[in-house]
Amino acid sequence: MSVASVRTAIREFLASPKAEVLCIRGHWGTGKTHNWKTIAKAQRSVSGGVALNSYAYVSLFGVNSITELKSQILQNTVTKAQIGDVPSMETAGSVASTVETATKKGFLGLVSGILGNRAEAVVSALGLLISKQIICIDDLERKGEKLSSSDVLGYISNLKEERGCKVVILLNDEALKGADKLQFATYLEKVVDRNLLFAPTAEESAAIAIPQTDDIANIVRQRCIQLGIDNIRVIGKIYGAVQQILPLLSAFSKETVEAIAAAMVVMGWVHHQPSSAPPIEFLKGFGSRMWGRDEQKLTPEEEAWDTLLSKFGFSHLDELDVELYRGITNGYFTQENIDAHASEFHRRVLKDQALERHRQAWQAYHYSFRNGMEVVTEIADSFIREVEFLSADNMHGVVSLLRELSLTEKIAPIIDAFIATHKNDPGAMEPERIYIHDGTLDSEIADRLNEAREKQRPNRPIEDIFSSPNDLYDRRVVTELLEFPVDEYKRILCTYEGDKLAGILRGLHSYSRISNPSEDMMEVTRRYHDAMTQVALDSDLNRHRVSRRGVKLQEPSISKADLSSDV
């Protein structure tokens, strides 16, 4: 039932003097209590909006007996004019000042005089004072274990039939379990006059949870709607977390902030709604599944999650997402952690924008027969403007077009801009990495990149090379190792000990483990073995050590067949 229909039913219930029972059921956090309280408070100012003069709101959370329930009703009763106000000494005074209540108060004195300190008996007798009033009983599903659903519904029936009260029940009936669930279903039809399912749409819940209209509020609201989040409390918590992190994002662009806000909706959904959202571990495999690298069999629910996340625009779980999830879980974010992860995210956003602008420049060339050479000039100019975020592949495409159209004077500035911008990125200067769809690599690009790469070559000691073992298979690193003579290999073998030497030995021996090593790798291994042979000459102990590492001491150099020796 829509929010509008339930609100109408609440207004009709409040305005009617007829003793009756209204049940409003729905999931937790969808706004049942919020809507009831908001409308009830508003109706007190409407002429004829509330038919009865007294009102009480009680929660059954932890209540274990009807006596406790009666006590809660008595304590929370206010006048019609005070519906929605927090019960206090002032509201109690107002209730006691009415003629009807004064009469009841006299009766209270009489009962107390007779029953003395027998509190339970007193409260039961005081229950006679509860009549002809509106009572909201909330959280039936959270009642204490000693109180049954049948007891509550039986008492509600008594309030209606014998005491002339109007009672509204608010609950999440799906949370009832076992005997309580069965009892509720059995007695519901006998006790309740009107039974409403409160099931607001995600749009309705988001509008209630986030009434603000600024850009970030709009983004969070729309993203919550996309994920189908209908829990008002969850939406409010997500928006609150976004508001909490905004001051830490002041150094980033508007687009980055908006993208982070959208990412927080997913992370907040996962954390706050574990019963309906996928677990964080499931998100870690999303990218692999989308690229077809993970053929894991998914359940229908998991397939639905993947479809929903794909429509949302989620691509993969990165380090920033994990940091956002950690912050939401912990309840706080730190500037240091956000800066550490958001900076890279910010750069990706800028890169995506640059790629899109460059793509638009190409669009004018591909999809028009009316414009002239100015579109080619714009492609070249666009590359120079966006060169920080463009690759050698992009450069090759632009240079190829310029060469085909004989605009060769524009080629050198393109290459100059790329080299100047990426001079500190060794990987950008490798012509062999450029993807050539059709044709051959432009020779000017190849020559200029190779020249720039030579200038990039670091001048570092041989031992420093082995500080980054993951780089040892880089062709440039192998070439760098060939710059050192055998004496340098022997020097580091005899200079270092312990973990440092162990790392050097693993690095030098790594090339002999490759099934099809390059000629340069074979040469590095030859120099290593020659150096080890010289080390073996220093003492019998060293000879024994070297021989145990698979080095053939009879020969100063090796052949390719020797490279498969084991250590």
Confidence band (pLDDT; 50, 70, 90) for 315? confident
**pTM for this predicted structure:** 0.59
Confidence band (pLDDT; 50, 70, 90) for 556? very low
What integer is the mean pLDDT of 183-208? Answer: 90
Residue 106 pLDDT? 47
Give the tens place of pLDDT for each residue, 444-458.
Answer: 999 999 898 877 766
Among the ranges 146-160, 429-443, 445-459, which has the highest mean pLDDT value?
146-160
Chain centroid to Cα 403, Å, comes to 47
What integer is the mean pLDDT of 95-111? Answer: 46
Report how far residue 461's alpha carbon sits from residue 449's, in angstroms, rounded to the nearest whole number: 25
Report how far residue 163's alpha carbon sits from residue 134's, in angstroms, rounded to the nearest whole number: 11
Q: Three-class SS string for 401-468?
A: HHHHCCCHHHHHHHHHHHHHHCCCCHHHHCHHHCCCCCCCCCHHHHHHHHHHHHHHCCCCCHHHHCCC
User: To 5 degrees, how large is the angle CA 30–CA 36–CA 37?
Assistant: 110
Q: What tokens appear for 554 in the block?
A: 């009879």
What are the helix (H) ranges across 77-167?
A: 89-96, 99-115, 119-126, 149-161
Report how far residue 91's alpha carbon sits from residue 82's, in angstroms, rounded to the nearest whole number: 7
What integer is the mean pLDDT of 13-21? Answer: 96
Report how far residue 436's alpha carbon sits from residue 168's, in angstroms, rounded to the nearest whole number: 72
pLDDT at 103 over 50: no
Q: Which among 356, 378, 442 has a CA at the least distance from the CA of 404?
A: 442
Q: How, if at all, do strands 54-59 and 77-79 pair? A: antiparallel
Residue 95 pLDDT? 47
Q: Three-class SS string for 361-399?
A: HHHHHHCCCCCCCHHHHHHHHHHHHCHHHCCHHHHHHHH
Q: Does domain 3-200 have CATH number 1.10.150?
A: no
What are the helix (H) ranges across 139-214?
A: 149-161, 178-191, 202-209
Give the tens place of pLDDT for each residue, 35-66.
Answer: 999 999 999 999 999 999 999 999 999 999 99
Residue 107 pLDDT? 47
Report how far residue 155's alpha carbon sits from residue 152's, in angstroms, rounded to the nearest whole number: 5
What integer is the mean pLDDT of 111-115? Answer: 49
Sorted by sequence, the CB contacts under 8 Å of residue 498 that are 6+ apart come out as: none
Say what angle helices 99-115 and 89-96 make with each other, to 10 degrees: 100
Confidence band (pLDDT; 50, 70, 90) for 474? confident
